[in-house]
A and B are shown apart, each in its own frame.
Chain A
Amino acid sequence: MTPVHFSFCSAFILGLMGLTFHRTHLLSALLCLEGMMLSLFIALALWTLQFEMTGFSAAPMLLLAFSACEASAGLALLVATARTHGTDRLQNLNLLQC
Chain B
Amino acid sequence: MTYLVSLLLIALIVGLVAVASNPAPYFAALGLVVAAGVGCGVLISHGGSFLSLVLFLIYLGGMLVVFAYSAALAAEPFPESWGDRSVLGYVVIYFVGVGLMMKFFCGGWYEGSWMIIDTFKEFSMLRGDISGVAMMYSLGGSMLVICAWVLLLTLFVVLELTRGLSRGSLRAV
Indicate, yes or no, whether A interacts with B: yes
CB distance from B79 to the nearest CB of A (A): 10
CB distance from B54 to the nearest CB of A (A): 7
18 pairs, CB–CB < 8 Å, chain A vs chain B: A2-B114, A3-B108, A4-B42, A7-B12, A14-B94, A18-B21, A26-B74, A27-B74, A41-B59, A50-B46, A54-B132, A55-B139, A57-B132, A60-B51, A61-B51, A68-B151, A73-B161, A80-B171
| Given A18-B19, A28-B25, A61-B136, A71 and B48 contact (CB-CB distance below 8 Å) | no
Contact between chains at A48 and B13 (CB < 8 Å): no
Interface residue SS majority, chain A: helix
CB 8 Å contact bits of B80-115 with A (1 = contact, 0 = none)? 000000100010001000100110011111100111
Interface residue SS majority, chain B: helix
Contact between chains at A69 and B150 (CB < 8 Å): yes
Residues of chain A within 8 A (CB-CB) of B154 are: 68-69, 72-73
State in angstroms the CA–CA spacing of A80 and B165 once bound together: 11
| Given A60-B51, A72-B158, A77 and B170 contact (CB-CB distance below 8 Å) | yes
Residues of chain B within 8 A (CB-CB) of A48 are: 48, 51, 117, 128-129, 132
B contact set with A: CB distance below 8 Å: 5-6, 9-10, 12-13, 16-17, 19-25, 28-29, 32, 35-36, 39, 42-43, 46-48, 50-52, 54-55, 58-59, 62-64, 66-67, 70-71, 73-74, 86, 90, 94, 98, 101-102, 105-110, 113-118, 128-133, 135-136, 139-140, 143, 147, 150-151, 153-154, 157-158, 161-162, 164, 168-173
Contact between chains at B43 and A27 (CB < 8 Å): no
Residues of chain A within 8 A (CB-CB) of B52 are: 45
